[in-house]
Amino acid sequence: MDQPRKANLCRSEKRVLLSARELSHAGLLSDQLLSFRIIKRDPLPIYLQIAEKITSVLDQHSILTGTLLPPERVICEHLGISKMTLRQAYSVLARKGCIEAQRGVGTFVLGKRIEKQISGMLSFTEEVTARGCTPSSRLLGLTTTPANHGAQRFFCMREDENVYEMTRLRFSDEVPLAIEVVQLPQKLFHGIERFQWETESLYDIMDKQYGVKLSRCCSEILAAPADRNQAKLLNLRIGSPLLVINRKSHSIEGVPVEFSTTSYPGSRYRASFTATR
C-alpha cells in the first residue's frame, strides 16, 4: 500500500475510534440525565437542580469535550419541564464554561478550561503532550509571501525579502483547540515546506534540522471575536470570544526567528502567568 493511502486509512480508522468514544460518552450522559428526578419540594429552584446534576455528571464521569447533550425536547418531556426552565439551567452552565450551544447542531460539552501558561515557552505539541493528550494538526496553508508590517519590523527585513507563512489548525485528541499563523524568515528556513506538518513540531524542526535553538520570546495577549472562518474551524459561533496570543521569538544568539499569532477559543482556555517583585 502506498504511503499517502496508508496515512489516510490510519486517519480514517482514528476518526472511527473517536466517533465510538463520542457515542459512548453521549450514551452515558443521556442515561445519567434521563434517570434524574426533580425534587419539587426542594427549596433549590428546578433549573439549578438540573444545572447541578449536569455539573455532577461532567465532573464524575469526565465526559469527552464535544459530546452532545440529549435534545431539549427529550429532556423536557422526561423531566416534565418547559424549554424556558431548561434554558435557564443551560445559561448557568454556559456562564461557567461547561457547555456551549450551536444553532442547528445542539448543545455540547466544553469540558474543563485548559490553563495556558504565558510565562513558559512551550510549543503547542509540548503543551498537549504534557497534559497526556495526542497533538495533531491540519495544514491550512504554507506560502512564501512578503512579511506583514509587524513581522517585517521584528525581523529587520528589507521590503524585497520574503517569509514563510504557515497556517495550521491544531488539535488535542482530535478536538480543534487553536488556529496558528506563523511567519518565519525564508533566508533562515529554506525548504521548510518539505516536512509533514500534520504531525511535526515546529520548534523540534527548528532545533534538529536548522540548528536554531530558541531562547526567549515576548508574548502579547488580546481578546477578539471569532470571524466566520475561525468560528467554522473551531466549532464556535461567529463572534465568540477568542484568546489571541502574539509571540515574537529569538534564538539563543538573539536573532529574531518567529512571529506568530495563535487564536484559542476563550470558552476552553484561560491564561495564567507568574510574576515576582
- Domains in the chain, start-ordered, CATH in brackets? 3-109 (1.10.10.10), 114-272 (3.40.1410.10)
Q: How many CB atoms lie within 10 A of CB 162?
A: 15
- Report field, pTM of the whole predicted structure over 0.85: no
For the stretch 234-262, pLDDT in tens is: 888 788 889 999 999 999 999 999 999 99
For the stretch 109-125, pLDDT in tens is: 876 556 665 556 778 88
* Beta pairing class for 162-172 and 135-146: antiparallel
Q: Which residue has the cell 515546529?
A: 202
* CA atoms of 149 and 76, how far apart (whole Å): 54
- Residue ranges for the chain with pLDDT beneath 50: 1-19
Distance of alpha carbon 52 from the chain centroid: 26
Q: Which residue has the cell 507568574?
A: 274
